[in-house]
Amino acid sequence: MVRPRNCRRVGSMPESNYFKPRGIPLSMLEEVILTVDEFEAIRLADLESLYQEQAAEKMNVSRPTFGRIIESAHKKVAEALVRGKALKIEGGEFEMASIRKFRCYDCQHSWELPYGTGRPGNCPSCKSGNIRRAEEDRGYVGGLVEDKEGVVVGLNKNSSKREMSPNIAKRRGNPNNGHQYQ
């Protein structure tokens, strides 16, 4: 029996999803399809220079699976470059990593980072350390629980609901008697 396939985690979608050789009409080109998870593997391994073990962890796959994804991605990119084909980035089985929003209180710059990357030390725009989570991004976000460094340490399965202890519920006269409330 075949093991079920893990959904690959992707940190961001590509800014551009189509590349073609210059001077050749689109109607005359063959396409090579690079899946979004293959694009993410190239981003992590080649652009961010992560080791396969680290990149595999970020994508929520095993190291051997990551090796197969990056090998397939490299072959497709090489085919498009060497044979003069268009490269289209689409599809694949993936899930988007949740995003956190930050704001610099010195220059008012806002930016986003995926969960699991740790808390940024300073603003990417002015390098100030006076940064906080953006107002709209505080509280129970996406069911993920972070430690003080901003690293995800668990999953709050009832992210849209909170548990009220039975003792507090009785004191407040809650008719649900300690069960979940909105």
List CB contacts of 104: < 8 A, sequence separation 6 or more: 110, 123, 125, 126, 128, 130, 131
Over the stretch 96-124, which tens digit does the pLDDT of each residue have? 877 778 899 999 998 888 766 778 899 99
Q: Phi and psi of 154, rounded to 5°?
A: 180, 180
pLDDT by residue, tens only, the chain of 182 residues: 777 777 888 877 888 899 999 999 999 999 999 999 999 999 999 999 999 999 999 999 999 999 999 999 999 999 999 999 999 999 988 888 777 788 999 999 988 887 667 788 999 999 999 998 887 655 433 444 444 555 444 444 343 333 333 433 343 444 444 444 33
pTM, two decimals, is 0.56
Class of domain 8-95: mainly alpha
Q: Phi and psi of 58, rounded to 5°?
A: -65, -35
